[in-house]
Amino acid sequence: MIDPIEIRSLISLLDDPDAEVYEHVQKKLFSYGAEAIEYLENAFGEAFDPVLQERIANLVHEIQFTSLKKDLELWYQGGAFDLLQGILIINRYQYPDLDEQKVINQIEAIKRDIWIQMSNEGSPVEQIKLINHILYSIHGFSGNTTNHRDPQNSYISQVLETKKGNQISLAIIYSIIAQKLDIPVYGVNLPQHFILAYLDESRESEFDGGILFYINAFNKGMVFGRRDVDMFLKQLNLQYDKQFYEPCSNTDIIKRVIRNLISAYEHLGSSEKVDELNELLQILE
């Protein structure tokens, strides 16, 4: 247990002009971890000194970022089975105080809307048409074509609020909901475009690996075939590679989200964020 009197007196020393004192105090507060955050945030609200405010803000960020790295490592080492958990960990990079239950409830609400209208006899294409209708027509999701490089497109809490996202964030929401409904839709790591595949090994299919068709979550769930992927790769002058056609791992999906964020923050000139996101990427390499 933290001693509130001790922690408050330590915080009051954070603006000490002596570098050695500051360093000692900072290390001690950091060692308390997440328990110290509430006290630090209260002190930030009461502080008038910009140096003290900046030091408190940096310390809070350092504690939260260290905790995020630990959780990402645990997720990865634990087999990276839960994609929603993985994307929520990345979401915490920008929104550390977010109520994650709210995101889970928003996903569940969309799932419920689809489930109510689902019939067990629906063919794969009919299932996808229903998901598309609920997701894009009823809930109003769409690809953010006007501000495609905005980092907010990669944070699931923001995409669920604004109903706008990039290829991968929309595909993540789409596949999480589909899989919750036992519809076998998985991400495919296509270069310059992230798509989804409908996988059913029990049916005859023109593809390898039981893929019936592909889905473009960025373009209102448009269904397309293998030849379209062939054409796309030809336009990019890329050779055939199995991984461009088949589902990828949850780790690959999260790595791609982090790379998108790195690119977005490079574009904005936020070098500190780029460095930190590269640290997150290293955990998954």
Whether residue 51 sits in one domain with residue 130:
no
Is 34 inside a domain boundary? yes
What mean pLDDT is predicted for residues 171-183? Answer: 96
Whether residue 139 sits in one domain with residue 231:
yes
Say what the pTM is: 0.88
What pLDDT score does 230 carry? 80
Whether residue 211 sits in one domain with residue 72:
no
Whether residue 150 sits in one domain with residue 31:
no
What pLDDT score does 209 carry? 65
Whether residue 203 sits in one domain with residue 132:
yes
Could you tell me the residue range of the domain that residue 59 belongs to? 4-77
What pLDDT score does 204 carry? 57
Is 255 inside a domain boundary? no
In the predicted model, what is the mean pLDDT of the chain? 88
Here the CATH number for the domain that contains residue 118 is 3.10.620
Is 265 inside a domain boundary? no
Main-chain phi, psi angles of 201, to 5 degrees: -75, -10
Picking from 16, 44, 77, the residue at the C-terminal end of a domain is: 77
Q: For residue range 188-243, list pLDDT tens digits in order.
A: 988 888 999 999 866 655 555 688 899 999 999 998 888 888 888 788 887 777 77
Q: How many domains does the chain have?
A: 2
What pLDDT score does 163 carry? 95
Whether residue 129 sits in one domain with residue 72:
no
Is 88 inside a domain boundary? no
What mean pLDDT is predicted for residues 36-40? Answer: 80
Whether residue 133 sits in one domain with residue 175:
yes
Whether residue 118 sits in one domain with residue 199:
yes
Is 124 inside a domain boundary? yes
